[in-house]
Amino acid sequence: MTYPIPVIDLEAATSPTAPPALLDTIRNATEDVGIIQVVNHGVPQPLIDEFNQRIARLLGLPRPQKAELASPTGHPYRGWRQWPDDFGRLELERFNVGQFDNAAAARAAGLPEEYLGLYDHDNVWPADDPRLRDVTYDYINATTALAGRVLGLYARVQGQPEDTFGLGSLPYVTFTVNDYPTWTYDGSASEGGAGDDGASDEDKLLLLEHADGSAVTILGQTGDYEGLQIQLPDGDWQPVPIVPGALPVFSGSLLTNWTNGRLRPARHRVVAGGTVTRRSVATFVYPALDTVVEPLPPFVEPGEESDYEPVSIWDSVKDRVENYLKVFGRPDQVSAWREGTTYVADLADNSAGR
CATH placement of domain 7-60+77-186+196-311: 2.60.120.330
Distance CA(127)–CA(92), nearest Å, equals 23
Q: pLDDT value at position 194?
A: 33
What are 309-319's pLDDT values in tens digits? 999 999 999 99
Could you give the C-alpha distances from 277 to 166, 235, 238, in angstroms and in order? 36, 27, 20
Angle at 67 between CA 62 and CA 70, to 5 degrees: 140
Percent of the chain, pLDDT > 90?
81
Answer yes or no: is pLDDT of 196 > 50. no
Give 35-71 pLDDT, tens digit per residue: 999 999 999 999 999 999 999 999 999 999 999 999 9
Residue 205 banded pLDDT, cuts 50, 70, 90: confident
Separation CA 192–CA 216 (nearest Å): 39
pLDDT number for residue 287: 98
pLDDT digits (tens, 9 = 90+) for 238-286: 999 999 999 999 999 999 999 999 999 999 999 888 777 789 999 999 9
Q: State residue 353's pLDDT score.
A: 64
Listed in sequence order, the DSSP H helices in the chain are 10-13, 20-32, 45-59, 63-67, 103-108, 131-157, 253-258, 313-317, 320-328, 331-339
Amino acid letter at 301?
A: E
pLDDT for 167: 97
Residue 172, beta-bridge partner list: 286
Return the pLDDT at 224.
79
User: Hey, is 61 helix, strand or coil?
Assistant: coil
